[in-house]
């Protein structure tokens, strides 16, 4: 008997990093390979206990085989006779930012713990043409509860050699870390892409930058990564006529109408400096509209759920089951997986 609990994240963060909305949509898939007609009870629990499951799991939906009266009487207990093969036992939604019971009813955003924290800074450099992305990959600590540590296999407990294996609740494993940054349509190219780790590439057709960090860089404790890029805007009339991209000081504006030596050299230098300052101010304003307005991160974490829900037990009632011997003890396995497919987004 196998249970797979998968949660998909949908999180929106303000430029300061404060969470604006955070939800986890969960699915419990179950596979039964027990002969006969088994009667099974799957029990869920949360960090605050089973008594609060009704408030944590919002909008629950169940397979027709689930006995709803049992769930209403004892929230967290799924009693059912499974169909053959793999099926979706239940689905639910969890608000990761519940309202506090304090005076103001403000969001308890401090309780939101994500595997990846992201920060985006725009308008960097002398002309504001650079932007920077900083990632902090947090080490997720967790361990199976004592009641279930010896009950489950298949990723639900520690390895046989004594230590938890990667991807189990005792040693969650993060993988498939990718940052996607949409860019405005006026961005012609990225002249420089400098990731500290991993590979980053710009897609000029779809106008987005993708930065992938391999799993080997994510092992160990908390990791920090950075990416800095320089945007190139569209070619304008100023670029063609007056702007000197090489910076050698060769202008294209030649005038021969002024009298010979009528302008002092010092004044000409000041004029050039003022013109350069004006051009920089104009360039900063132009580059401001070329900066990204959001960035999203995708990843998967094996052995961890954002909601904190866990399968406490999977029990087979041999007395209620039919066609099943009393001595039958089927293998039980549980896997946890949290997925973000661009679901964690920060606004710039």
Whether 71 and 198 map to the same domain: the answer is yes
Whether 53 and 89 map to the same domain: the answer is yes
Q: Return the closest-CA partner of residue 24 out of 108, 95, 109.
A: 95
Whether 154 and 281 map to the same domain: the answer is no
How sure is the predictor about 181, in pLDDT bands with cuts at 50, 70 and 90? very high
The whole-number pLDDT of residue 343 equals: 92
Report the alpha-carbon angle 319-43-63, nearest 5: 85
- Tokens standing for residue 183: 């860019």
Q: What pLDDT, in 10s, does the model give residues 223-254?
A: 999 999 999 988 775 554 445 555 445 555 55
Residues 288-306, mean pLDDT to the nearest whole number:
95
The range of the structural domain enclosing residue 88 comes to 2-232+292-347
Whether 272 and 335 map to the same domain: the answer is no
The whole-number pLDDT of residue 22 equals: 95
The whole-number pLDDT of residue 161 equals: 43
- Tokens standing for residue 165: 């294996």
The whole-number pLDDT of residue 253 equals: 53
Percent of the residues in the chain that have a pLDDT greater than 90, as a whole number? 54
Our count of domains for the chain comes to: 2
The whole-number pLDDT of residue 288 equals: 93
Does residue 326 have a pLDDT over 80?
Answer: no
CB half-sphere exposure, 123, CA atoms < 13 A: 10
Q: Which residue has the higher pLDDT, 168 or 87?
A: 87
| pTM of the predicted protein model | 0.80
Return the sign of the alpha-carbon dihedral for residues 345, 179, 174, 29: positive
Contacts of 314 (CB under 8 A, 6+ apart): 1, 3, 40, 41, 42, 43, 151, 152, 332, 334
How sure is the predictor about 35, in pLDDT bands with cuts at 50, 70 and 90? confident
Does residue 164 have a pLDDT over 80?
Answer: no
Whether 340 and 271 map to the same domain: the answer is no
Q: What pLDDT, in 10s, does the model give residues 249-269?
A: 555 555 555 555 555 555 565
Whether 63 and 111 map to the same domain: the answer is yes
The whole-number pLDDT of residue 259 equals: 57
Q: What pLDDT, in 10s, does the model give residues 110-127?
A: 568 899 999 999 999 989
Parallel/antiparallel/unpaired status of strands 40-45 and 58-62: unpaired
CATH number, domain with residue 35: 2.60.40.1170
């Amino acid at each position: 008997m196998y249970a797979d609990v998968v949660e998909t994240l949908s999180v929106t963060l303000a430029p300061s990093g404060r969470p604006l909305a955070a939800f986890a949509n969960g699915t419990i898939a179950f596979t039964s390979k027990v002969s006969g007609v088994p009667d099974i009870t799957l029990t869920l629990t949360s960090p605050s206990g089973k008594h609060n499951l009704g408030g944590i799991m919002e909008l629950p939906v169940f397979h027709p085989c689930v006995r709803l009266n049992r769930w209403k009487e004892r929230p967290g207990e799924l009693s059912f006779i499974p169909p053959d093969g793999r099926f979706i036992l239940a689905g639910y939604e969890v608000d990761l930012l519940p309202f506090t019971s304090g005076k103001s009813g403000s969001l308890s955003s401090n309780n939101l713990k994500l595997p990846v924290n992201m920060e985006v800074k725009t308008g960097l450099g002398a002309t504001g043409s650079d932007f920077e992305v900083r990632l902090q990959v947090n080490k997720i600590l967790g361990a199976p509860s004592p009641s279930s540590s010896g009950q489950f296999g298949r990723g639900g407990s520690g390895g046989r050699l004594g230590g938890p294996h990667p991807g189990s609740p005792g040693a969650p494993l993060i993988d498939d870390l990718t940052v996607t940054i949409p860019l405005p349509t006026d961005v012609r190219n990225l002249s420089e892409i400098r990731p500290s780790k991993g590979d980053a590439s710009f897609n000029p057709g779809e106008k987005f930058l993708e930065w992938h960090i391999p799993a080997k860089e994510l092992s160990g404790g908390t990791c920090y990564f950075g990416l800095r890029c320089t945007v190139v805007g569209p070619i304008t009339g100023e670029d063609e006529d007056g702007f000197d991209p090489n910076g050698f000081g060769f202008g294209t504006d030649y005038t021969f109408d002024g009298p010979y030596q009528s302008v002092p050299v010092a004044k000409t230098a000041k004029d050039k400096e003022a013109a350069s300052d004006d051009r920089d101010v104009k360039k900063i304003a132009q580059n401001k509209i070329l900066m990204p307005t959001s960035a999203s991160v995708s990843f998967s974490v094996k052995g961890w759920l954002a909601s904190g829900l866990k399968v406490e037990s999977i029990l087979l009632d041999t007395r209620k089951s039919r066609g099943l011997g009393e001595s039958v003890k089927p293998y039980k396995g549980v896997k946890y997986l949290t997925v973000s497919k661009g679901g964690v987004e920060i606004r710039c």
